Structure 1
Amino acid sequence: MSGGYIPLSSHTNHSCKKTSGHGFQGKPVIVAKRNLNVSATDGNFIEKIRERLNNGKVEISPSAYDTAWVAMVPSREYSGSKQPCFPQCLDWIMESQNPDGSWGLHPGLAKDSLSCTLACVLALHKWNVGQQLVQRGLDFIRSNGWAACNEVQSSPIGFNVIFPAMINYAKELDLTLPLSSTLVDSLLQVRDSEIRRDRNLEYVAEGLGNFCNWKEILTRQTSNGSLFNSPATTAAALIHCHDDKCFQYLVSVLAVFDKWVPTVYPLDIYTRLCVVDTLERLGVSRFFGHEIGCILDEMYRLWQRKEEEIFADVSCRAMAFRLLRMKGYEVSSDELAAYVDQEHFFETVSLQMSGVDTVLELYRASQARLHEDETTLEKLHAWTSTFLKQQLLSKTILDKRLQKQVEYDLKNFHGILDRVENRRALDLYEIGDYQVLKAAYRFPTVHNEDIFLFSKQDFNICQAQYRKDLDQLERWYADCKLDTLKYGRNVVRVSHFLTSAMLGDPSLSEARVAFAKTIVLVTRMDDFFDHHGSREESLRIIELIRQWKEQPTSVYGSEEVEILFTALYNTVNDLAEKAYVRQGRCIKSVLINLWIEILTSFMSEMDSWTVETAPSMDEYLSFAWVSIGCRICILTSIHFLGVKLPEDVVMSPESTSLCRHVSLVARLLNDIQTFEKEQKERKLNSVSLQLAAHKGAISEEDAISEIEKLVEYNRRKLLQLILQTEGSRMPKECKHVFWQSGKIGYYLYSHGDEFTSPQQMMEDAKSLIFQPLSLPLLD
């Protein structure tokens, strides 16, 4: 079952000399040079971002909540001491009250502000300092106490356990809180209910009071001396157990941050992974290839030695697995086996790691499945996708941006086109973005002005080039007189959008245009062969291509044949001339052979519909994978990527395997969506052949399920070839085009036939091509 490279007659000579006569005289392709993408301001941004990538320093905001707990630790005598062990934290609290009397990061996070404020009030009152600050804090609690029981308000992790516990602690300190007894009783009932549910509450142990067995909790202590990398939990353990490793951990954190502590530490590895992931999502990772490579090399070394900071955190482990695997590092999915059962997952992981964002990371990791026997990823995908869908249906994801991200990832993970994702990520990206654990915190290493401004500016530069590409394509279409044809589909804008979405770098203009022109011509030919041309006319086009004379004088037989052949003839000549500059060799014979191959496959499809005996599945796939058009589009465009490609690489078995797998993904997905329509037209596709093979013994749903398995098989095989390095001669730049082409198949056909009914595509194209991102004024 090979696609077959169809040779030309031996007497035919194909050179890349310029042609004249009635040939298409297109204007030169506009190429954006790499150095034109970077202004002086861009260069400053790049250097600042590189510095962040290289120095590994973590930028994170202070946590008033955690700092207050550290401030409550008594001096080295521990019990009975009337002096704080870390007075600098107390000083920070007294210096950091907000104008409204609260402590905390974000005034809009009412529960976070309440938790932070009460903790700081307790610390000040415990050491009998800052009475005016205490009073202002109590006034804030009085005015905002209503939020404590408001389920609509976003809640820090463990709030229902911790906040009532701090109310009880206030009573022990003889501090009267301005909260109604009804509210307090309600909060205590909720807390008791949470504890009775017997969830894994060690992460919020400071809120457990007498319910807590601290010696047992200390068995969860990490090598750095912390409990869950949480300063608050570790400080509470130090208060109760006088553990020296806890003390040394807090000393080490304050050695870094001086007078305050963050809500989680250390965060170095997770931070570096997040930066890499963010730069890729924003579409600017191409500027930082060396730095990203160094980071991932280091992550791989840490993965191999099972670094605790990676493996102790579910999100960090899942993200590391996904990023490393998708960059070709050998990482085993067995390292995620502990999370394959949903019930076991929520029973064993701490509250810190049981949120929707963590499950989303596991879901993303589950999509990096390479092998059929990776049941770990299969099971992980099953429960995480179901869980996330349930969260959306129940509307329990209060973070609107997280909700949008979950919706987008679930809709079509394999069909997320790079530049479409970049635009969505840019729309969701905020400099002041915050995350919430037991306290809200900002992450300036990942969310900062430099990345924000540079990414938006780069997007607008790319978008301007895409519009130039579109102008060129529309001129070409008119010059080819394809707009005069009264039948078939005009897919200029569709093809332009798809190629812009998959090959975003402005310098790849020639590759995008070559890919888009090929899509347009393939679609026009398909419509002609399928519906509008006679069998004789279709055969005439193939014969004209086989003859391929430098000065065509043939009789075409019809105006439509002349328009189609002339458009193809002049476009191939034009592309061959441009490729000669890039490659230093003539590729015209390769392109002509590819056109003969695909048009012959169209004829095979026509013949299969007219014979009484349907082809077998193998026979059908032997021509159907070619007729979908992926092979000719990819092998044409990769000559314009800026890498040298010998012909034996382009037409190698490796290239054919890549083409076959990516084409079958698109073909089979298309068959699933068009089955009912084609069945009414008495046409064959893989679904109908599957039904015929079982002689009606299976339902349409079962037949479609079998084809979906075949799609997944080919997607995995494609990914294996993409990531394979040993024995591979195909450059990674070219493999990227194969992988992105596979995504296009999912994008177009996973939820309907977007190619012919492009509702979602129209919205995506508008945002990618026509709606620039607004840039704030720079000082």
Structure 2
Amino acid sequence: MCLEFIGSNDWAVSDNDQVSPIGFDIIFPMMINYASELDLALPIKAGLVDLMLRNRDSDIKRRNQNLDYVAEGIGESFDWNKAFSTQQRSNGSLFNSPATTAAALIHCHNDKCLEYLHMVLKEFKTWVPAIYPMDIYTRLRMVDILESLGVDHYFRYELNNILEETYRLWKEKDEEILEDITCRAIAFRLLRIKGYEVSPDELGESVFDQEQFFETVSMQMNGVNAVLELYRASQFRFPEEDEGTTLGKINVWTSTFLKQQLLEQTIVDKQLQKQVEYDLKNFHGTLDRVGNRQALELYDIDRCEILKTAYRCPSINNEDFLQLSRKNFNVCQAQHQKELQQLERWYAECRLDSLKLGRDVLRVSHFLTCAILPDTNLSDARMSYAKTITLVTCVDDLFDHYGSRAESLEILELIKGWNDPSEMSSTYGSQEVEIIFKALYSTVNELAAKASIEQGRCVKKNLINLWVEIVTSFMREMDSSSDETAPTLDEYLSFAWVSIGCRICSLTSIHFLGIKLSEDIFTSPECTNLCQHVSLVARLRNDLQTFKREQDEKKLNSVNLQTAHGAVSEEEAISNLTQMVEYNRQKLLQLVFQTQGIIPRECKDVFWKTCKISYYLYSESDEFTSPQQMKEDIKSLIYQPLI
């Protein structure tokens, strides 16, 4: 039956579009050669066998080195004693590969090698996997998949235990982690994100650049998937880890390599190709829930990993995970639809729908909030964030587009006074001013009352001060735009980082995470630094996408402030700001991931998620003002259930 299968599929040997197991072109011809030496009648044409053997010899000469993983396809000419001295693991295997280890035992007796094979047969009886053991890799992939599917919160205790054990093994330099670059890259990324102190130098010198990587690692680890995991790991570097360091070097060559693979269309696995495209497009702008939907659409329970054989791990590709994730997504979606209805009622009751806004503020605000705070238990946090974005946009548009300076100043004075509109005797300067202030007054009071119950203390004054701060920054922006002398870049950023709105949205919503927060947290340098870094990322990315339009509108922008009077070229200005964005993003991640400090990790994550919004909105356009991709994402996230 096996021979019939080989004979009926011999055409696949010469089909370049076939997805082949690792080392197939070297191992399979040797198997056919062994069969011929045993005088087995093979249903394969002699010419095809000769072609396979010639291709095998050519492949061996081309690779020249790092063939240890497929040594069973080389035979007597391979230096087996050297392989045992350099590649044998503590469990007796070569590369944790039963096939390579068995071949080694044929050519060179080794007691530890024999013990390993007995152990594998005792475990699996009548069959053996392509790799054994691979427990750590499998567990880490499971952690990664559950997070990507958006259901990790159901298994938080178990997943934390996995990462704690992984960190212990990382410190002990466990072979199963350090000998597999893919596993090592995943471990580094997941551990760093969770706040464990892991050095990127542990990724090894063999991953510094593309040439060194492909020259020094075995065939087992030099595929696109390994490079993609290294690329992902390199995205979580800190300011001191620039292009001259391990992560910086990895980032440069992996991103270049993956882009080249897409350009040349050499990634045969179409799902992997989609994942590479998705990660390269806007890695830091992947909003949690949008990423969950993407992962669910790519998740295939029948998907196999192609090693020396096709291998499907039930704890990675799991029907139960898929069903749970779909149900969780649809439950969240149903709740988000109800919340949108509540927001629409609030919007109408506040008469905000009568303002001359040129963008769908409410729907966009709701979508962004649901995308970064999807947990069903965080409804109040989502509502406070969405309402704050909406109100900030309404006030900003009054200052920027249709309001006079007198109206803008009146809004600021009304907020500073914070008098009940029903008890005010004086009239408003305009209907817009009246609508905005009444909406602000009722909404902030409502949020303050809820937050006070959550926190066990009054927070109204703090929320009002946040509004005074941001509207003051709007005022400074307006006045500076009309001044004959433009501010310096530093002067502009000293107030423009506040006016982008990240600080007020984040600090308002963290009152509703179910965590008691002391007053000291909001006045701490740590909180100030988190606010500044996330706000500078958002402000500068916004400016980079809008500077041409804002130049025509005679508005302040960090690009145009640099290029004014020919100080620097447009390209230099953009380069300067891009570097500033990257520095502040890396600094923000460092603050979020570090375990010391007084701000709980759940709160710090809100700043990180807010940073993702800025990457999402200002990637290739201004998605907030002219949503393109967002329209599709809103549809898939809020309206289209998973079947």
Please give the range of the TM-score, normalised by the shorter of the 2 chains.
over 0.9
Question: Which of the residues 583, 591, 605 maps onto 2:463?
Answer: 591
Cα contact 1:489–1:524 (8 A) shared by 2? no
Matches of 1:552 and 1:748, distance apart in 2: 41
Give SS of 1:412's match.
helix
Give SS of 2:566's match.
coil
Deviation by residue 1:712-753 (Cα, 9 ceiling, x = unmatched): 111111112112222x11121111111100111111112221
Residue 532, structure 1, aligned to residue 402, structure 2: yes
Matches of 2:260 and 2:551, distance apart in 1: 35
Q: In 2 relative to 1, CA 698–190 (structure 1 residues): closer, same or farther, beyond 3 Å?
A: farther
5+ residue gaps, structure 1, are 1-135, 775-779
Matches of 1:303 and 1:759, distance apart in 2: 43
Give SS of 2:311's match.
strand
Give the aligned residue type for 1:252. M
Deviation by residue 1:56-85 (Cα, 9 ceiling, x = unmatched): xxxxxxxxxxxxxxxxxxxxxxxxxxxxxx
Give SS of 2:9's match.
helix
Deviation by residue 1:571-615 (Cα, 9 ceiling, x = unmatched): 111111221221222221111111111111111111111112111
Give SS of 1:446's match.
coil
Q: CA deviation at 1:702?
A: 2.0
Matches of 2:331 and 2:114, distance apart in 1: 52
Matches of 1:217 and 1:161, distance apart in 2: 18
Q: CA deviation at 1:350?
A: 0.5
Residue 311, structure 1, aligned to residue 163, structure 2: no
Give the aligned residue type for 2:257. F
Deviates more, 1:180-189 or 1:377-386: 180-189
Cα contact 2:543–2:559 (8 A) shared by 1? yes
Question: Which of the residues 195, 211, 216 maps onto 2:82?
Answer: 216
Match of 2:237 in 1: 369
Q: CA deviation at 1:199?
A: 4.1
Residue 751, structure 1, aligned to residue 620, structure 2: yes
Match of 1:202 in 2: 68
Match of 1:740 in 2: 609
1:276-291 pair list within 5 angstroms = 276-291=143-158
Residue 327, structure 1, aligned to residue 194, structure 2: yes
Cα contact 1:419–1:768 (8 A) shared by 2? yes
Deviates more, 1:210-219 or 1:577-586: 210-219
1:654-693 pair list within 5 angstroms = 654-692=526-564
Deviates more, 1:284-293 or 1:661-670: 284-293
Deviation by residue 1:212-236 (Cα, 9 ceiling, x = unmatched): 2222222311111111111111111
Q: In 2 relative to 1, CA 765–211 (structure 1 residues): closer, same or farther, beyond 3 Å?
A: farther
Question: Which of the residues 300, 309, 312 maps onto 1:439?
Answer: 309
Deviates more, 1:510-519 or 1:291-300: 291-300
Q: Which structure has the higher relative contact order (CA within 8 Å, separation 6+)?
A: 1
Give SS of 2:187's match.
helix
Match of 2:98 in 1: 231
Question: Which of the residues 220, 238, 245 maps onto 2:112?
Answer: 245
Give the aligned residue type for 1:357. N
Q: In 2 relative to 1, CA 413–444 (structure 1 residues): closer, same or farther, beyond 3 Å?
A: same
Cα contact 2:241–2:247 (8 A) shared by 1? no
Q: CA deviation at 1:532?
A: 0.3
Question: Which of the residues 611, 623, 629 maps onto 2:495?
Answer: 623
Q: CA deviation at 1:697?
A: 5.6
Q: CA deviation at 1:254?
A: 1.3
Matches of 1:697 and 1:657, distance apart in 2: 30
Deviation by residue 1:480-506 (Cα, 9 ceiling, x = unmatched): 111112344331111111110100101
Q: Which has the higher helix share?
A: 2
Q: CA deviation at 1:682?
A: 2.5
Cα contact 2:271–2:298 (8 A) shared by 1? yes
Match of 1:152 in 2: 17
Matches of 1:724 and 1:215, distance apart in 2: 46
RMSD: 1.4
Deviation by residue 1:1-22 (Cα, 9 ceiling, x = unmatched): xxxxxxxxxxxxxxxxxxxxxx
Matches of 2:547 and 2:53, distance apart in 1: 59
Residue 610, structure 1, aligned to residue 477, structure 2: no
Matches of 1:432 and 1:370, distance apart in 2: 38
Matches of 2:423 and 2:270, distance apart in 1: 61
Match of 2:297 in 1: 427
Q: In 2 relative to 1, CA 217–337 (structure 1 residues): closer, same or farther, beyond 3 Å?
A: closer
Cα contact 2:380–2:512 (8 A) shared by 1? yes
Q: CA deviation at 1:552?
A: 4.0
Q: CA deviation at 1:446?
A: 1.7
Matches of 1:286 and 1:297, distance apart in 2: 16
The normalised TM-score by structure 1 is 0.80
Provide the aligned length of Structure 1 versus Structure 2. Answer: 636
Q: CA deviation at 1:537?
A: 0.5
Match of 2:267 in 1: 397
Cα contact 1:515–1:633 (8 A) shared by 2? yes
Q: CA deviation at 1:443?
A: 0.4
Q: CA deviation at 1:256?
A: 1.3
Match of 1:647 in 2: 519
Question: Which of the residues 129, 137, 140 maps onto 1:273?
Answer: 140
Match of 2:287 in 1: 417
Cα contact 1:631–1:663 (8 A) shared by 2? yes
Match of 1:711 in 2: 581
Matches of 2:188 and 2:203, distance apart in 1: 9
Match of 1:104 in 2: none
Q: CA deviation at 1:281?
A: 0.8
Match of 1:185 in 2: 50
1:3-82 pair list within 5 angstroms = none
Residue 262, structure 1, aligned to residue 110, structure 2: no
Residue 578, structure 1, aligned to residue 445, structure 2: no
The normalised TM-score by structure 2 is 0.97
Cα contact 1:273–1:320 (8 A) shared by 2? yes
1:449-460 pair list within 5 angstroms = 449-460=319-330
Give percent identity, aligned residues only.
65
Cα contact 1:673–1:752 (8 A) shared by 2? yes
1:420-569 pair list within 5 angstroms = 420-550=290-420, 551-553=422-424, 554-569=426-441
Deviation by residue 1:164-208 (Cα, 9 ceiling, x = unmatched): 111211111111321223322332222122111114211111111
Larger radius of gyration: 1
Cα contact 2:76–2:107 (8 A) shared by 1? no
